[in-house]
Structure 1
Amino acid sequence: MAHYAEAQETLDSYVKARVPLITVTTIEQQRALRLVGETASSPHRADLPFLKYTRATGLSDLRSGRPVIDDRSLIGAMDFAAEQFTKRPNSTFVFVDPDDLTSDTSASRHVAELARQAETNGGALILITDTPIWSGLQRLGMGMRLDLPNSEEMYETIAGVLNDHRGVPGIDIHWTEADARQAADFLVGVTEGEAINMLTTMLAKGRLERSDVLELVGYKDRIFGDLAGLDRIATRKGEHEVGGLRNLGRWLDRKQQLMVSDLRGTALRPPRGALLVGVPGCGKSLSAKAVAARWNLPLYRLDLASILGQYLGQSEGRLREALETADRVAPCVLWIDEIEKGLGAGEHDSTGVSQRLIGQFLFWLQESDSRVFVVATANNVQGLPPELLRKGRFDELFFVDLPDEDDRREIITLYHQRYLKNEPAPELLEKLVARSEGFAGSDIEAALHDVGAEALLNGGTETVSDTYVIDVFTNTMPLIRTNPEQIEQIRAWGRERAVPAGTPRPADSAQGQRQSRRLVQTTP
Structure 2
Amino acid sequence: MPDFQETTNLVSSYLRARVPLVIIESIEPSRVMDLLRQVADEIRSMNFFEHSRTEGIKDLLTQQSMGDDTSLAAALDQARVTFKARRNVNFVLTDVEDLADETSTSRHLAEMVRLAEACSGSIILIESNPVWTGLGRLGMSVALDVPTTDELAETLQSIINDQEGLVSVAWGPAEVRRAAEILTGVTETEAVNVLMTMLTRKQLGPDDLSQLSEYKDRILGALAGIERIPLREDYSVGGLRQLQSWLVDREFLMKADLSATRLNPPKGVLLVGVPGCGKSLSAKAIAHSWGLPLYRLDMAGILGMYVGQSESRLREALAAADRVAPCVLWVDEIEKALATSNGEGGTTQRLIGQFLYWLQESTSKTFLVATANDVSALPPELLRKGRFDEMFFVDLPDADDRAEIIELYFDRYLEARLSPALLTELVRITDGFSGSDIDSVVHSIASRMFTQGTTLLPPEDELRPWFVDVVPYSRTNHEDVAHLRAWANGRCLPAGTPPAIDAPAGAPIRRLLVG
- Per the normalisation by structure 1, the TM-score is 0.93
Could you tell me how far 1:18 is from its partner in structure 2? 0.9
For residue 510 of structure 1, give the secondary structure of its aligned residue in structure 2: coil
Residue by residue over 1:388-415, the C-alpha shift from the partner in whole angstroms, topping out at 9 and shown as x without a partner, is 1122211110101111111111111121
Following superposition of structure 1 onto structure 2, how do residues 353-432 of structure 1 map, counting pairs within 5 Å? Answer: 353-432=347-426
Between 272-281 and 361-370, the greater mean CA deviation after superposition: 361-370
Deviation for aligned residue 1:146: 0.5
Structure 2 Cα separation of the partners of residues 508 and 55 of structure 1: 80
Q: Secondary structure at the match of 1:335?
A: strand
Question: Structure 1 residues 88 and 129, CA, compared in 2 at 3 Å: closer, same or farther?
Answer: same
Counterparts in 2 of 1:191-270, with a 5 A limit? 191-238=187-234, 240-270=235-265
Query: For 1:70, which of 68, 71, 75 is the aligned residue?
Result: 68
Shift of 1:198: 1.5
Alignment size in residue pairs: 510
> With CA pairs under 8 Å and 6+ residues apart, which has the higher RCO, 1 or 2?
2
Which residue number corresponds to residue 521 of structure 1?
A: none
Deviation at residue 81 of structure 1 after TM alignment: 1.5
Closer, same or farther: CA 507–472 of 1 in aligned 2, 3 Å: farther
Name the counterpart of 1:96. Answer: 94
How far did residue 39 of structure 1 move?
0.7
Please state if 1:453 is matched with 2:450. Answer: no
CA distance in 2, matches of 1:348, 1:49: 66
**Structure 1 residue 508: Cα displacement:** 11
Instruction: Extract structure 1 runs of 4+ deviating beyond 4 A.
Output: 505-509
Q: Contact 2:416–2:457 at 8 Å: present in 1 too?
A: no
1:302 to 297, 300, 311: 297
The answer to whether the 8 Å contact 2:485/2:508 transfers is no
Gapped regions of structure 2 (runs ≥ 5): 510-515
Q: CA 1:118–1:347 in structure 2 vs 1: closer, same or farther (change >3 Å)?
A: farther
2:489 aligned counterpart, secondary structure: helix
The answer to whether the 8 A contact 2:321-2:366 is kept is: yes
Percent identity of equivalent pairs? 50
- Contact kept, 8 Å, 2:294 with 2:327, in 1: the verdict is yes
Task: Give the SS at the match of 2:490.
Answer: helix
Which 10-residue stretch deviates more, 461-470 or 394-403? 461-470
Alignment equivalent of 1:441, drawn from 399, 413, 435:
435
What's the C-alpha RMSD, in Å, of the aligned pairs? 2.0
Q: 1:4 — aligned with what? A: 4
Provide, for residues 404-463 of structure 1, a one-character-per-residue CA deviation record: whole Å limited to 9, x for no partner. 111111111121122212232322211111111001111111111111111111222315
User: For residues 302 and 343 of structure 2, what CA distance do their matches in structure 1 show?
Assistant: 13
Q: Relative to structure 1, is the Cα distance of residues 486 and 40 closer, same or farther in structure 2, using a 3 angstrom cutoff?
A: same
Deviations 1:77-101 (A, max 9, x none): 1222122211222221111131131
The worse-fitting range, judged by mean Cα deviation, of 31-40 and 153-162 is 153-162
Specify the code of the residue in structure 2 equivalent to 1:344.
A
CA distance in 2, matches of 1:128, 1:241: 52
Structure-2 residue corresponding to 1:190: 186
Q: Report if aligned partners of 1:244, 1:408 keep a CA contact under 8 Å in 2.
A: no
Q: Distance in 1 between the 2:117 and 2:508 partners?
A: 71
Deviation at 1:509, TM superposition (A): 5.4
Deviates more, 1:375-384 or 1:452-461: 452-461
1:184-216 deviation per Cα after TM superposition (whole angstroms, max 9, x unaligned): 222211111111112112222112223333332
Number of the residue aligned with 1:520 = none
User: Aligned equivalents of 1:228 and 1:152: distance in 2?
Assistant: 27
Pair 1:504 & 2:498 matched: yes
Q: How does 1:294-333 map to 2 (within 5 A)?
A: 294-333=289-328
Give the conservation status (yes or no) of the 8 Å contact 1:495–1:508: no
Match among 14, 37, 47 for residue 49 of structure 1:
47
In structure 2, distance between residues paired with 1:465 and 1:359? 58
Alpha-carbon separation, structure 1, partners of 2:236 and 2:101: 54
Cα separation, partners in 2 of 1:423 and 1:270, compared to 1, 3 Å: farther
1:85 and 1:118 in contact (8 A); partners too? yes
Quote how far apart the aligned CAs of 1:251 are. Answer: 2.1
Indicate if the aligned counterparts of 2:395 and 2:508 stay in contact, CA closer than 8 A: no
Q: Distance in 2 between matches of 1:232 and 1:60?
A: 45
Give the SS at the match of 1:497: coil
Q: 2:176 aligns with which of 174, 177, 180?
A: 180
Asked if the contact 1:279–1:400 (Cα under 8 Å) also holds between the matched residues in 2, the reply is yes
Contact 2:334–2:370 under 8 Å retained in 1: yes
- Structure 1: stretches of 5+ with no match in the other structure: 518-524
